[in-house]
């Protein structure tokens, strides 16, 4: 009968009944979304001004292409070497702790990069930033823990949106706020901003990353570990 079909979890045509979608944890997903933007800011904020920065640091015209590529890639090289170890730390100490620490480290490294005295220190700062900010995998692991099969696809579909907004924001901030002493001499006409003409966009990124870390500390909570999750970690 019709009632028996519904009791068995099928509709009247014999196909499985649709499972209601569990509501997303909105507060946690909002913080995850902000962390995605933070990741992009750390990686891409320098691209609008990297050539000008390298010229100011004394790089010759013939070497601008090489060092621009090196600075751009060094952040992601650091992430390549640290992402696995960040995952191991997340398994031991929880995703929340690693996301908070990674955000604070990203904030500090962004600020430091605005005050580097030469190319060597610029590369070191970028590599260190990537090493301390390899949390992309942790974000995905955390989302998989706080969602279920009904709402997980929706949650993961937000990742490219957040990262895309972060790239756009990084490009705008890097281009609009670099050399503020030239753009807004009435506000940033002091010797400090002339000495460090690329510090402002990086400091803005650092403040954003710091505030995002505070939100993560307040809002995020590690989900209880499941037997299936422990089995994957032991494999």
| CB 59, CB 119: distance < 8 Å | yes
- Cα separation of 146 and 221, whole Å? 9
* Cβ neighbour number for residue 107 with a 10 Å cutoff: 25
| CB 152, CB 99: distance < 8 Å | no
Q: Look at the alpha carbons of 122, 128, 132, 136 in this order and tell me if their dihedral is positive or negative.
A: positive
Confidence of residue 64 (pLDDT cuts 50, 70, 90): very high
> Among 73, 199, 220, which residue's Cα sits nearest to residue 143?
220
The residue assigned the tokens 């990084």 is 170
| CB 141, CB 90: distance < 8 Å | yes
Among 43-52, 109-118, 125-134, 190-199, the range scoring the smallest mean pLDDT is 125-134
The residue assigned the tokens 């490009």 is 171
Residue 21 per-residue DSSP state: P
pLDDT, residue 228, reads 46
Residue 8, both tokens: 């068995």
* Cβ neighbour number for residue 228 with a 10 Å cutoff: 7
Residue 217, both tokens: 């500390």
| Chain segment 72-84, per-residue pLDDT in tens | 999 999 988 998 8
| CB 71, CB 124: distance < 8 Å | no
- Cα separation of 213 and 217, whole Å? 6
Specify the pTM.
Answer: 0.84
Q: Which helix H or strand E contains 160, and what residues bound it?
A: helix 152-177
pLDDT, residue 72, reads 92
Residue 1 per-residue DSSP state: -
Is residue 194 scored above 50 in pLDDT?
yes
């Amino acid at each position: 009968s019709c009632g028996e079909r519904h009791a068995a979890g099928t509709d009247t045509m014999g196909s499985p009944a649709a499972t209601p979608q569990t509501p997303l944890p909105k507060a946690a997903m909002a913080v995850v979304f902000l962390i995605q933007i933070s990741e992009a800011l750390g990686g891409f904020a320098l691209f609008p001004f990297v050539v000008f920065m390298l010229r100011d640091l004394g790089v010759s015209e013939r070497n601008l292409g090489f060092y621009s590529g090196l600075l751009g890639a060094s952040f992601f090289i650091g992430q390549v070497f640290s992402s696995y170890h960040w995952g191991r730390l997340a398994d031991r100490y929880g995703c929340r702790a690693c996301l908070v620490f990674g955000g604070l480290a990203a904030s500090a490294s962004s600020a430091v990069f605005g005050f580097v005295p030469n190319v060597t220190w610029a590369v070191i700062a970028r590599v260190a930033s990537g090493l301390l900010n390899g949390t992309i995998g942790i974000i995905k692991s955390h989302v998989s823990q706080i969602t279920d099969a009904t709402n997980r696809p929706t949650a993961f579909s937000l990742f490219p949106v957040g990262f895309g907004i972060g790239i756009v924001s990084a490009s705008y901030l890097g281009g609009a706020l670099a050399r503020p002493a030239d753009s807004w001499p009435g506000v940033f006409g002091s010797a400090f901003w002339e000495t460090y003409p690329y510090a402002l966009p990086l400091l803005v990124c650092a403040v954003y990353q710091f505030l995002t870390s505070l939100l993560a500390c307040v809002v995020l909570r590690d989900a209880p570990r499941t037997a299936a999750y422990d089995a994957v970690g032991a494999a």
